[in-house]
């Protein structure tokens, strides 16, 4: 869908924006260009390949994102961990099982189109991608995506989908966020008590959540009626991560468990070190965007202060 933009071009963009002291371009894993942000509030790493946030470390804290030690960092293969972008479909394509999971934009080169220091000291970078001849062979619509990444005491990602076609289209989108934990079996996610979900690990049966969500065996729970805010409690580290979302109609909670992870070359024995809270518009809550219009989805991640 496009070659990865080179480090020199990204560095020139940052220099022209006048923020070279805060935003640096380095060579990341696999030689992929890596945008590194270091400001008063936090450190953040973003690969232009997939517009993929790989690291977020609030000042004085730890990285709240998990990156697989087995990720291959090769063009054409999604990066495992961090925050992959889902678009234009969630999970498997509904009719073509030969296409990769969660759409194609996470294996594309995105353009950095803006970078700035905000008046309050936060840093914002913006990435964009649009359809091309190859994308239309897979998904026959004209579109443009824009991802704003704002780095401050919290990490905010805003994804805007523009329909550039002459007719409406249906799509799914989201943030497939991998959170780093000490042991997923000692974690729980609150704020879903009493909510219906689709249990995708058990054939898509409809269930009702009772109490906090806990992990141990394979968990793929897709909630179609979701709270604006939820909390991930990591008991061993006494850490609480807050997820606040807007313009998102669904949430998928995922951990493969030991048996499924053993079959996945990018996870293997590391399965207990992460849990995914995927803020999405998927399944029952897929989007229909009229021609010429747009939809904006936002997620903000932060560490709770006691």
Could you tell me if residue 2 is inside a domain?
Answer: no
Average pLDDT over the chain reads: 93
**What one-character-per-residue DSSP string does 152-182 give?**
SSSEEEEEEEEE-SSS-EEE-EEEEEEEE-S
Instruction: Give the pLDDT of residue 299.
Output: 98
Which single residue is written with the structure tokens 């898509």? 204
Q: Of 9 and 303, which is predicted with more confidence? A: 303
- Provide the residue range defining the domain that includes 187: 7-303
In this prediction, residues 178-189 reach a mean pLDDT of: 97
Residue 239 placed within a domain: yes
Please report where in the chains the tokens 């030991």 appear, as a residue.
Answer: 258
pLDDT, tens digit, for every residue of 30-69? 999 999 999 999 999 999 999 999 999 999 999 999 999 9
User: What secondary structure letter does DSSP report for 6?
Assistant: P
Asked whether residue 82 is domain-assigned, the answer is yes
Categorize the per-residue pLDDT at 16 as very low, low, confident or very high, splitting at 50, 70 and 90. Answer: low
Q: Where are the alpha helices (DSSP H) in 105-156?
A: 133-138
pLDDT of residue 5: 52
Q: Could you give the percent of the chain with pLDDT greater than 90?
A: 85
Is the pLDDT at 78 greater than 60, yes or no?
yes
Average pLDDT of the segment spanning 166-188: 97
Mean pLDDT of 198-220: 95
Is 80 exceeded by the pLDDT of residue 127?
A: yes
| Residues 175, 52 contacting (CB under 8 angstroms) | no
Q: Rounded to the nearest 10 degrees, how much is the dihedral formed by the CA atoms of 86, 155, 127, 27?
A: -100
* Calpha distance 212→200 (Å, rounded): 18
Question: What's the whole-number mean pLDDT along residues 94-119?
Answer: 91
Number of domains in the chain: 1
Asked, for residue 243, whether it belongs to a domain, the answer is yes
Q: For residue 61, what is the domain's CATH number?
A: 2.70.98.10
> 156 in a domain, yes or no?
yes
* 144 vs 96, residue with greater confidence: 144
């Amino acid at each position: 869908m496009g070659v990865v933009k080179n480090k020199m071009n990204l560095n020139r963009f940052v220099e022209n924006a006048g923020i070279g002291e805060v935003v640096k371009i380095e060579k990341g894993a696999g030689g992929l260009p890596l945008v590194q942000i270091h400001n008063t509030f936090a450190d953040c790493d973003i690969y232009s390949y997939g517009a993929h946030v790989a690291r977020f470390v609030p000042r004085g804290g730890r990285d709240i994102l998990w990156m697989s030690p087995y990720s291959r960092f090769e063009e054409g293969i999604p990066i495992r961990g961090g925050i992959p972008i889902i678009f234009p479909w969630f999970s498997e394509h509904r009719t073509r099982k030969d296409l990769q999971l969660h759409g194609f934009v996470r294996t594309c080169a995105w353009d950095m189109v803006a970078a700035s220091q905000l008046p309050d000291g936060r840093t914002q970078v913006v990435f964009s991608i649009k359809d091309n001849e190859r994308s239309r062979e897979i998904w026959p619509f004209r579109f443009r995506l824009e991802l704003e990444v704002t780095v401050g005491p919290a990490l905010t990602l805003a994804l805007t989908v523009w329909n550039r076609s002459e007719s409406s289209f249906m799509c799914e989108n989201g943030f497939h966020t991998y959170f780093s934990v000490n042991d997923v079996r000692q974690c729980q996610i609150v704020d879903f008590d009493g909510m219906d979900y689709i249990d995708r690990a058990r054939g898509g049966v409809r269930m009702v959540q009772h109490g906090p969500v806990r992990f141990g065996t394979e968990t793929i729970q897709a909630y179609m009626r979701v709270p604006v805010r939820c909390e991930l409690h990591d008991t061993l580290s006494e850490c609480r991560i807050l997820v606040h979302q807007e313009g998102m109609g669904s949430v998928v909670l995922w951990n493969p468990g030991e048996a499924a992870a053993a079959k996945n070359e990018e996870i293997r024995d590391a399965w207990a070190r992460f849990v995914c809270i995927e803020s999405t518009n998927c399944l029952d809550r897929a989007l229909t965007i009229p021609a010429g219009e747009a939809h904006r989805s936002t997620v903000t991640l932060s560490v709770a202060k006691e």
